[in-house]
Amino acid sequence: MYKQICLFSIFIFSILTVSSMTGCSPKSPPSNHQEGVQRNTTTDCLVVDSSGTVTYGNDLVTLDASNSSQGYIMVQYKGASTVVKLQITIPDGTIYTYALPPGNYESFPLSGGSGDYKITLLEPVQDEMYAIAFSTTISVSLVDEFHPFLYPNQYVWYGPESKSTALGIEISQKSSNDLDYVENIYEYVIKHITYDEQLADNVPAGYLPNVDQTLDTGKGICFDYAALMAALLRSQQIPTKLEVGYSGDAYHAWISVYLKETGWVSGIIQFDGTHWSLMDPTLAANNSSSSVKKYIGNGSNYTVKYSY
């Protein structure tokens, strides 16, 4: 799945990019910054925990469901294989498949709302064949719909010491409200991160975003853009979905954000003071139109397949 994401990653070009190509100057949108007003900055981001209060498993795996009501589970694989798969079937029947490395606990979101989740560990037996090493079903009652999208997980990983968390605090302290913060985060990402075509052409199987590495290198693919923005927003307690799906026929990753005044804003980032515009951070970054065309979908719609 990750290779598809990266080989067909960029969606449509942003309004700003099109304007620059045609020689037109886009009208400057009204700012949502309020002079003399400062957003209530969060200095302690939410962290995941494997407390061991509620666990399932066997000699190969431990499933810690102690915080399932908060929207996540922790899973630890204790075997020797490096290509184990974890499948999580959410209440509507959609199957999410993750790579599960051996050793440490990994955090996975319960993104399908309250209900029954089937958790299955698959170990390789030969070639591309896998056998079930563990399976159980847990009943989940979420505190609310937002918690799965407020905590770090395997795809959106950060912590109190992460560079992304420190950056979020810095930018939040220059923002007057949540909407202003979303705009400032968006502007930071599109100005500081460029599309990594070499990685997109050679992305390894099981690729996972590393948000601090993206900040260090200033480069990334769509998965990295979405993970970085999700980390910056979640660490400031703004519910954010990292979504994977289709832009026309192209597989892609983007984010959706929840704002109290608006609700869920799906696949939309930029706000002009009155209307939201379809603005994906991967697209709006300073990319060359000629060099990224092979990654572009037809831009007809966003169709969500998975939410993390």
Over the stretch 201-220, which tens digit does the pLDDT of each residue have? 888 888 899 999 999 999 99
Q: For tokens 């994906």, what's the residue?
A: 280
pLDDT at 139 over 80: yes
Q: Residue 90 has which token pair?
A: 């959410």
Q: Are the beta carbons of 9 and 245 closer than 8 angstroms?
A: no
CA Rg value for the chain: 20
pLDDT computed for residue 126 by the predictor: 85
pLDDT computed for residue 211 by the predictor: 97
pLDDT computed for residue 194 by the predictor: 87
Q: Are the beta carbons of 266 and 239 closer than 8 angstroms?
A: no
pLDDT at 300 over 60: no
Over the stretch 213-254, which tens digit does the pLDDT of each residue have? 999 999 998 889 889 999 999 999 999 999 888 766 667 788
Q: For every residue of 3-35, which 3-state class applies, written as one string?
A: HHHHHCCCCCCCHHHHHHHHCCCCCCCCCCCCC
pLDDT computed for residue 3 by the predictor: 39
Which amino acid belongs to residue 166? Answer: A
pLDDT computed for residue 97 by the predictor: 96
What is the residue-averaged pLDDT of the chain?
82
pLDDT at 151 over 90: yes
Please spell the DSSP secondary structure of 170-222, one letter per residue.
HHHTT-SSHHHHHHHHHHHHHHH-EE-HHHHHSPPTT----HHHHHHHSEE-H
Share of the chain above pLDDT 70, in %: 77
pLDDT-derived band of residue 144, with 50, 70 and 90 as boundaries?
very high
Over the stretch 251-285, which tens digit does the pLDDT of each residue have? 778 888 898 877 887 655 444 444 444 445 555 56
Over the stretch 47-95, which tens digit does the pLDDT of each residue have? 999 999 999 999 999 999 999 999 999 999 999 999 999 999 999 999 9
